[in-house]
Amino acid sequence: MTFKVKNIRTRLTLWYVAVFTLILVVYAVLSLSLVYWSMRQDLDNELEEDYEILENIISVEKDGAISVNENVDPYFRERWIEIWDAIGKKLYESRPFTAKILPPVPDRIKKADRFTFYSQALPDGGHARFLFGKANINGRWLFVRLVKSEDQLWDDLADTARVFLLALPFSLFLAGFGGFLLTRKMLNPIDRMTEKARRISEENLQERLPVINADDELGHLACTFNQMLERIEKSFARLKQFTADAAHELRTPLTAIQSIGEVSLQENKDAAYYRNVIGSMLEENHRLTQLVDSLLFLSRADCERIKVSKEPFSLFSFIEKTVELIQPLAEEKNQTILLEGDRRLNLTADKNLLREALLNILDNAIKYSGGGTTIRVRFERIRHVTQISVTDQGPGIPVDQQEKIFERFYRVDKARSREIGGIGLGLAIARWTVRAQGGNIRVISQPEAGSTFIIELPGES
């Protein structure tokens, strides 16, 4: 069965302890290696000193015998020395440790043409450090081997290793405890953010997560969550406002239909009166149907259930046919719709969505412009952007409200909009249909100076 730690604090602590353990092990290995190298170097220096002393007290007699003046060096008996002649006959030996048996000199050492240091295990246990080489003493070639016991070296290394092993558990405990405290302190902001986020609901979306340090990673995370909460809060506010506006707009025609019906039933009138009543009820029903259709369109748009199908077409022919659809409304107010632009322009776009946007803009231009006025529709290509602009002679739009008019149910003059049949969704639909095709819609207007709505779409070069 696999053991898996789910708590981040525990995982970080274990990782910290594991890394710290690895560092301690590497440090121990390096330290022991350095101690071994240093102590072995000391043995090599001592062997060299022994050889220098030997050179000063050794001599070769006339008969070829070896003579060593041991009385010159008071510590000579503590030195381990062996001397052979050229044919391998042992000529001299000084053995301070009589119980130790020395191994023969390895062949690779014998073949060396200089003095060589080497270490070797002794047959009866223990280790020793050797210096072996060929020396010319008084004209005679002799083989000399000097020896130093490495037992003390290995004992010191063992003591050092035991110190490391004894200190390791205590060090790991301190590392684990310190790592736990460190991770708890580091993750404490996350615990606070989690607790705060758990208490945030739709009733208190105005609250934000605590930001302890805005410059570190956790601070950036908290700021990002706060920005997301701010967007959610605004979305909820828009949704509540949309729901309230939709309910109000639906209730208005329903109330009108009910009132007209109740009043007409209270008195006996002639056929002309009831015909007029039925006509009023049908007008309110038409307005209600228009509102429901607009809401359904925006609902499908929000759910991304409306597909964009682009195709190339003649821009002039498209605008001309669109104007023909709404021309009867302009004729009722004796208005003129003029088309201006290059009739050779072509455009690749979704005709149905673009027609929906253009009809909504033209409908507003007709409603808000006075009788006998002129509405201009201009189309042109500026660099790689195709522009369709609709200029009316209406009351204009204040600068501070020019961006808000594209919001759902927003109307500059709500009383007048309701009087002329506006529901406040046309420009919201127009903006969505244009943006869905990668374009943009904007307005240029001044109070009492009319408005120009500009549709910008990617055009062919």
Return the closest-CA partner of residue 391 out of 407, 372, 370, 369.
369
Q: Is residue 235 part of a domain?
A: yes
Q: What pLDDT digit, counting tens, does each position of 104-157 carry?
A: 888 888 877 788 888 888 887 788 888 888 888 777 788 888 888 888 888 888
208: left (phi over 0), alpha (psi -120 to 50) or beta: beta
Return the closest-CA partner of residue 409 out of 394, 395, 428.
428
More confident of the two residues 80 and 295: 80
Are 225 and 98 contained in the same domain? no
Averaged confidence pLDDT in the chain: 81
* Residue 414, helix vs strand vs coil: helix
Q: How many CB atoms are located within 10 Å of the residue 339 CB? A: 13
Considering 140, 156, 172, which residue would you say is the last residue of a domain?
156
Considering 251, 266, 299, which residue would you say is the last residue of a domain?
299
Q: Is residue 279 part of a domain?
A: yes
Would you call 130 exposed, middle or buried from its count of C-beta atoms within 10 A (0-12, 13-18, 19+)?
A: buried
Looking at residue 420, its pLDDT comes to 54
Show the domain range for 235: 217-299
Q: How many structural domains compose the chain?
A: 3
The whole-angstrom separation of Cα 390 and Cα 365 is 8
Q: Is residue 97 part of a domain?
A: yes
Are 139 and 224 contained in the same domain? no
Looking at residue 376, its pLDDT comes to 93
308 contact partners, CB below 8 Å, separation of at least 6: 350, 353, 436, 437
Residue 186 bridge partners (DSSP): none
Q: Is residue 129 part of a domain?
A: yes
- The answer to pTM > 0.85 is no
Q: What pLDDT digit, counting tens, does each position of 169-198 carry?
A: 888 888 888 878 887 777 777 778 888 878
The whole-angstrom separation of Cα 19 and Cα 28 is 14
Q: How many CA atoms within 13 Å lie on the side-chain side of 220? A: 3
The whole-angstrom separation of Cα 453 and Cα 392 is 9
Are 235 and 145 contained in the same domain? no
Considering 156, 187, 204, which residue would you say is the last residue of a domain?
156
90 contact partners, CB below 8 Å, separation of at least 6: 82, 83, 84
In the predicted structure, residue 455 carries a pLDDT above the cut 90: yes
Q: For residue 114, what are its two tokens?
A: 């200089």
The whole-angstrom separation of Cα 386 and Cα 458 is 6
